[in-house]
Each structure stands twice: as C-alpha cells, then as structure tokens.
Structure 1
Amino acid sequence: MKCINCGTDNKLKDRTANQGRCIKCNHPFAFEPTSMSNVKITDPFFAKAIADISANNTLFFTPKQLLYLLDNRLRNKSFSVIILLIPFTIFNLISAIRSFFLLPLSMSFFLSLVFLTQSISKKINNKVRQKNAKALQFLEGIILVGGILLSLTVNSFPIFFIVVIIGMLDIYLGTRQLGRISLVTQELLFSQSQVKDWLDRWQQINGSILKILPSPNQENTPATVNPDVTAYSFDRLVVCDSAALAQLLIANNFHFENNCAILSITGYPQSIFDTTMQMLRRNPDLKVYAVHDCNPRGIGLVDNLRTNANWFLNSNAVIIDIGLTPRQIIATKRGMFIQSSPESAQAAKQLPKELRQSLSAEELAWLESGKFVELESFTPQRIIKVL
C-alpha cells in the first residue's frame, strides 16, 4: 500500500514491522486492509474517494454521499467465474469429442447457476450483474451448439432434446436478466456508522476534511436580516424534502449562482425561514421547484406545498416537480442505487387517493414493492448539474 504522504510503497511486512507507519516518512496509515472483514480499504483508495466526491476539494458533500460512493466502488468486482469461460469452452469441446457428455453438462449446469445467481445479487453492482447475464447467454450458446453437434455425431435424440431445452432456457434467463438489471434492488455493504468510524480515523491521522458537511444545524433563534434586503423577493424557490439536501445546495452557493431561495420542507434553515417566506409571498409570479427522493414521502412533497398553510395554500405560485419520480427511475437506462424496505412499501400503500390517481399503474407498483432511491446516492456535482 502506497503512503499518501510520500508515495512510498509499503508491503505488509514493512507496515507490520513499523507499527502501521510508512517505512520512509513514518506517516501512520489510517487503514490496514488485511485486518478488515467485509470490505478492504486502503489509504490511497479513501483519499481518491474524498477527492472525487468533492470534485478535487471544490464542492461540499454529505457523509451519506460518501457512503454511496464508497459502496459503489467496493462492490464485488474482483472475482467472477466469467474468466472460466474460455478454458471451460475448450474442455467442453474435448469432452464432447470424446463423448463424455455428463461431465460437461453437469459443469455447464453449475456455471449457469453461478451466473444466474450473480446476475440477481444485491451485493454487486449493475455492471457486474450485466456481465454475468451476458456470460449466461454465451455459456448456453456454447452448450446449445456443442450439444447439437454432439447429438448429430452420436445420433442421440435424448442428448439433442436435453441440450436444446437447457440451452434455450438459460439464453432466455440471461436475456430476461439483462432487461431487468437497471431495476434490481441493492443492499448497502456497510452502515453509516462504519463510514463515520472511517472518517474519524482518517481525520485523526490526516487532519480535517474541509468539504464534508456536518448534520444540518437547526437554529431556533431568528437571524437578524437587514430591512433593505427583506424589501426584495425571489423569482424562484427550490424546496428540498430534507434538510441535508438544502444544506448541501446552500453550502455550494447554488442560491447565489442561480438567483433563487433554498428551503427544506422541514423548515431549514430555521433561523431565516419565516423571513424568507415573507419575501417569497411578495412575488405574485413566484415559481417553486420541488426536489426530492424517489419514495412515498418525496412523491407527496408537491401536494404538501400546495395544501399546507405554512407554504402555498391559496397561493398563485407555480409549483413544479423536478423529481426524483418513479417514472424517471423506470425510464432511465443508467444504473441507479435502488433499495427496498417494508416501511417504504407500507407508506406507498397509504398515499392519498388524489396522489395515487396522478401516478401510473407501473409507478404505483414500483412504490408499493417498497423500492426507493435517495438523492444522496448521487454526487454533489451531478445533483447541481441536473438542478
């Protein structure tokens, strides 16, 4: 593992002999991958993750955004039985020529199960699942062609029948999985508390991470605002369904660069919430943009803004839903981190009738299956670019 301080490559025996420090500059290592259980993290890996999530230390980010980035990069990419396809193909052909039919058939069945299992696994990412689905198609193509040639050679209808059924079935399964991969749910490999421990350890050794945001601070004491400022208003307001997202946008100066106000449905930032709302209500042409997670609570954000007296009940403000919505998730071909939970499924079934009528049958089915996507699964750079 390379030292992030001087770049020296330290082998395990070097790190162990020097009490977890670099043999050249004596800088401590924050992580020892060989002693970690479910995931393996190195100092250069963690440093690059921080640099990437912050766009080279130019953007603020939340701890949960770092969690999602680390999870995506640490998913099981190291080993795949796909590499066995070439030697397996050679073995299959030799065995077929020698008429050892049962052995390659049993191995084919085993590999088919492995590829199918990995193509639906919640512990690997979409890219690896896609490779396994394609490998399943390729493998069964080999079985189909080789088996048919063998059956013709030995003039055996039972062999022909078996390989055709198995081959066509697995080609179908592989094709089916390729079409479903973008909608398969995933599970996080580790918890937010583990990331917190890693961050504490990293900052203890390497100093504070300047661009990581703390938990949103809800100040109950109203801030003093210059009367000359409150005489003005805004043409646009962005309402987030979480204080964390509102804090992220404000910290990255989205409100200055796009001449808009930013608030959360929870009232963040509380110290200027009432003053900002007074300013907004002065503008009869106000446009409100609702940005939220793709979950039942987020789907109800626009309705909440329209019917809540603290927001825009009996107001002429134009409220625009800019997502995330189930139809956006369903339509996209890009891999999103889709999760599921019984709580989300139950909340979806309790959505108001008017809101349910605004959703398609496919969207309702998606929500009622418990699926959801969090905006914090995207990097700050991507969220800001989309908004």
Structure 2
Amino acid sequence: MKCPECGHDQKHKYGMTCSCGYQFTLDPKQDKISDGKFLALVRNASSNDTYYFTKNQLVAAYCRREVKGRMGGVVVVAIIGLVMSCVAWFGIRPEVDVVWIFLLAAGLLILFGGTWAVLQWRPNQARMESAIDKWLAEGKPIPRLLLHPSLQEPPPEWDEPDIYDYGVESILIVEHDLLVDLLVKNGFHASQRCLIVSETGYPGYIASRITELLHERPDLPIYLLHDSTRKGERMIERIDQQLRLPHHREFIDLGLFLEDVKRIKRLRPMLSARDDYAIALDYIGYGMLVGGLSQALDEQLTLAAVLDAQAAGGYEASSFG
C-alpha cells in the first residue's frame, strides 16, 4: 500500500498505519482498492479539483478504470486463441487429425468464447460505493463531492437582485434535485444563461422566478433533462402537474432514453448488466456532460444526438471524465 502522504510503500503485514503516521482507510485485500487509487479516482471525477461531482460520477470513474484495465485481458485472450488456432490449422495432418482438430477447436473457443466472456464482464459498482461509504464513515473529506441538495436557500454570496443579471435565455428542468446543485455549483447556469430547477420545484426561489418569467416571456424555451430509465422517459408527463407552468405546454426533451444507451458504446462501462440499459444521467463525467449539454442547448439536439456526433468524430471513451 503506497502512502498518499509520504509515498512510502507500506507492507500489509505491518498494519494500516504508515511510518509517517498516516492511517489507511481502505484495505486492498478486503476492499479491493487502496487509499492511493481511491484518491486518484477522486481527482479524476473532479478533474483535479476543478468540478463538483456526485457519488455516481465517482463510481463511474472507478468503472472506467476497471474497464480500461480489463481491455488488456481481451487482447491477451484473443492473441492466445489466435495463435493456437493458426498452429492447429497449419499443423493438421491425416495421421493426427483428431489432435490438431481438438487444438483448433480449443483455440477458436478461447478466441471467441474467452473474448466474449471478458466483454460481458461488468465492473463491481457496489465495491466502489462501499469504499466511498467507508471513507466518509471514517470522517475523511472528499472535496467537491455532492451528497445532498443544499440550495434550498440562495447561497450567501448571491444577492437576490443579482442572481439573474446574466440574462435568462432558457429554462432547464432536470429530474433530480441533486443535478441542480451539480450544474449550478459548477456555474453552468451562468455560462448558458439558463434557470435550472428540478421537476419537484427545487429550489423554490428559482421555481417562483420561472413562473414570473413565463408570464413575461411565454416564448422562453424550456428544456428537460432526465435519466435513461422508464421513470425518466415519462418526465414530460409529470411537469405540468408538479410545476404548474403557466400557459406553456411545449418542451424540448434533451434527456437520455433506454434505446440511446443501448446504442452508444461510450455509456456501456456504466451499465450494471448487459441487458439493462437504465443509467442515471450523472454517471456521465461532468466534463463530458457539460460539454454535451452545452452543445445540445445551443443546437436544440438531444444529449444522445450530441454523443453520437462526438463518437462519429472520433472522440475516445477516455473523454468521459
């Protein structure tokens, strides 16, 4: 275990306290992750302490790392299977057909069956969730991690008359309260000149302002953003009932749908099962999320359409974060 404080390589048999006094929280043998790797994932999720992020985004950073590591296994298995198959194919002789045919079959089984099995594998998300909970239970902070909505009241640095000085050009309604915090605390509302509120009407001081704005400007575009779940896909059915927007019935749905996730390969590391394409929106790293969402707002495209266009342009899955 490498100490995050002094860099000393602490052997497990010498206990969970480094010679410098640092107390290790995670046991690599039990938790399957070390303190150093955990903190590296935190830096990844926050883009080196640049962004606020959610627990889902920290879990997603872990999944991406695990999938990237597993890809090396795919290459090894494929090479072994290919070599065995080639040797068998060119070595077949009438007098030893059975042996070589068996070797050929074994090689093909490793090549295709082994590769398929590795690709079917999914990261153990519960392992990372447990590590996060253990870290927090020890009283250790995770800078910029958002655990609960905290914008029920305007932040102290916001003067009420100045909240809207950036000029509102659109309204963004998100499915979950915490997604409001994620976008607002990272300044997305100001850079995109939009008011952000959840479908529950959180935060109330923003929701009331939306009602006023729509009376003044009934043509103001309203965008929806939701998870790739059955509940998320039905978000548009709940808006009028929950927010009671005045005389405004047209919404532009930017959210993810199950069919989108099924199609977009970049989202697959976040899936808990091969046949389940439900995914929370904040499993997408903030950098990728805000980049895709900005383009979606500018061009009035769905987030999925933007991700498709990025994939077609050669963007790599490593840009997730």
Q: Compute the TM-score of the two structures, normalised by the length of structure 1.
A: 0.62
1:61-99, CA deviations, whole angstroms, 9 ceiling, x for partnerless residues?
A: 2233223324544x4xxxxxxxxxxxxxxxxxxxxxxxx
Structure 1: distance between partners of 2:110 and 2:260: 30
Where 2:172 maps in the other structure, the secondary structure is: strand
1:198 deviation in Å? 0.6
Residues 1:330 and 2:262 aligned together: yes
Residues 1:28 and 2:22 aligned together: yes
Equivalent runs, 1:235-384 vs 2, <5 Å: 235-305=169-239, 308=241, 310-312=243-245, 315-317=248-250, 319-334=251-266, 335-340=268-273, 369-384=275-290
Report percent identity of matched pairs: 19
**Unpaired segments ≥5 residues, structure 1:** 76-124, 341-365
What is the root-mean-square deviation of aligned Cα atoms in Å? 3.8
Summarize the Cα distance change of 1:2–1:126 in structure 2 as closer, same or farther, 3 Å threshold.
closer
Where 2:47 maps in the other structure, the secondary structure is: coil
Residues 1:196 and 2:142 aligned together: no
Structure 2: distance between partners of 1:126 and 1:14: 30
Q: Is the 8 A contact 1:231 1:279 kept in 2?
A: no
1:374 deviation in Å? 1.7
Where 1:52 maps in the other structure, the secondary structure is: helix
Structure 2: distance between partners of 1:235 and 1:295: 28
Tell me which residue corresponds to 1:66: 58
Q: Is the 8 A contact 2:228 2:258 kept in 1?
A: yes
Residues 1:162 and 2:102 aligned together: yes
Which residue identity lines up with residue 211 of structure 1 in the other structure?
R
Where 1:239 maps in the other structure, the secondary structure is: strand
Q: Is the 8 A contact 1:284 1:316 kept in 2?
A: no
Tell me which residue corresponds to 2:11: 12
Which residue identity lines up with residue 47 of structure 2 in the other structure?
A
Structure 2: distance between partners of 1:276 and 1:386: 24
Structure 1: distance between partners of 2:224 and 2:106: 50
Which residue identity lines up with residue 332 of structure 1 in the other structure?
I
1:39 deviation in Å? 1.3
Q: 1:39 aligns with which of 27, 32, 36?
A: 32
Summarize the Cα distance change of 1:202–1:383 in structure 2 as closer, same or farther, 3 Å threshold.
farther
Summarize the Cα distance change of 1:212–1:141 in structure 2 as closer, same or farther, 3 Å threshold.
closer
**Unpaired segments ≥5 residues, structure 2:** 294-321
1:248 deviation in Å? 0.7
1:314 deviation in Å? 5.4
Equivalent runs, 1:88-167 vs 2, <5 Å: 125=67, 128=70, 130-152=71-93, 155-167=95-107
1:4 deviation in Å? 3.7
Summarize the Cα distance change of 1:337–1:323 in structure 2 as closer, same or farther, 3 Å threshold.
same
Structure 2: distance between partners of 1:72 and 1:193: 17
Q: Is the 8 A contact 2:167 2:193 kept in 1?
A: no
Q: Is the 8 A contact 1:337 1:377 kept in 2?
A: yes
Tell me which residue corresponds to 2:316: none
Which residue identity lines up with residue 285 of structure 2 in the other structure?
T
Structure 2: distance between partners of 1:230 and 1:54: 27
Residues 1:212 and 2:156 aligned together: no
Q: Is the 8 A contact 1:235 1:285 kept in 2?
A: no
Summarize the Cα distance change of 1:140–1:71 in structure 2 as closer, same or farther, 3 Å threshold.
closer
Structure 2: distance between partners of 1:219 and 1:194: 29
Summarize the Cα distance change of 1:28–1:170 in structure 2 as closer, same or farther, 3 Å threshold.
closer
1:260 deviation in Å? 0.2
Where 1:371 maps in the other structure, the secondary structure is: coil
Which structure has the larger Rg?
1
1:319-350, CA deviations, whole angstroms, 9 ceiling, x for partnerless residues?
A: 2222222343233232431124xxxxxxxxxx
1:187 deviation in Å? 4.0
1:196 deviation in Å? 2.4
Which residue identity lines up with residue 41 of structure 2 in the other structure?
A
Where 1:383 maps in the other structure, the secondary structure is: helix
Structure 2: distance between partners of 1:147 and 1:211: 56
Summarize the Cα distance change of 1:145–1:68 in structure 2 as closer, same or farther, 3 Å threshold.
closer
Where 1:372 maps in the other structure, the secondary structure is: coil
